């Protein structure tokens, strides 16, 4: 009987492990809310996921030279709000998300494919940093790669 209890104790997650899973689920929920808001063109829902000092980081290449632009998310949100019905749903489909958390800082990394309606537009990797403010997680940095090659639906 004692060995059964030992086995059960080994199989049951610790309180710390459960808390970590819970925090990871909260981080994933914030990112999901961001993309759900984008799909429904609900920029208030999207903005609620962002820290007031959030910034967007966009790496790219121009004439063979790596470039980086840093901006506030305001222009992106305005673009989502002004997208027409003929554009179709703005659908960022993510896969293989990975979350790392240390205290009030979290990172989110996932592959994605972006669709305008049913048409694939581009793909890449999303990487976000989130901070815990009071009792909630907020996105402080959003960065993504955008490529047209090597995308698979």
Average pLDDT along the chain: 89
Per DSSP, the residues of 87-106 read G--EEEEEEEEEEEEETTEE
**CATH number corresponding to 14-144:** 3.10.450.50
Task: Return the pLDDT at 69.
Answer: 92
d(CA 106, CA 17): 16
Whole-prediction pTM: 0.83
User: Residue 59, SS3?
Assistant: strand
CB-CB contact of 92 with 114 (8 Å): yes
Task: Return the pLDDT at 148.
Answer: 87
Q: For strand 50-62 and strand 136-144, is the pairing parallel, antiparallel, or unpaired?
A: parallel
d(CA 60, CA 67): 5
- % of the chain at pLDDT higher than 90: 71
pLDDT at residue 18 greater than cutoff 50: no
Task: Return the pLDDT at 1.
Answer: 59
pLDDT at residue 21 greater than cutoff 60: yes
Task: Return the pLDDT at 139.
Answer: 98
pLDDT at residue 10 greater than cutoff 60: no
d(CA 132, CA 119): 36
């Amino acid at each position: 009987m004692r060995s059964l209890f030992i086995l059960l104790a080994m199989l049951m997650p610790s309180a710390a492990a459960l808390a970590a899973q819970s925090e990871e689920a909260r981080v994933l929920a914030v990112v999901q809310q961001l993309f759900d808001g984008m799909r429904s063109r609900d920029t208030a829902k999207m903005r609620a996921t962002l820290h007031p000092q959030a910034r967007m980081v966009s790496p790219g290449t121009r004439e063979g030279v790596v470039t980086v632009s840093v901006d506030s998310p305001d222009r992106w949100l305005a673009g989502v709000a002004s997208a027409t019905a003929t554009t179709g749903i703005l659908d960022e489909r993510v896969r293989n998300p990975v979350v790392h958390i240390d205290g009030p800082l979290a990172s989110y990394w996932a592959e994605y494919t972006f669709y305008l309606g049913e048409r694939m537009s581009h793909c890449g990797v999303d990487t976000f940093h989130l901070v815990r403010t009071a009792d909630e997680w907020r996105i402080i940095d959003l960065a993504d790669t955008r490529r047209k090659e090597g995308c698979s639906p």
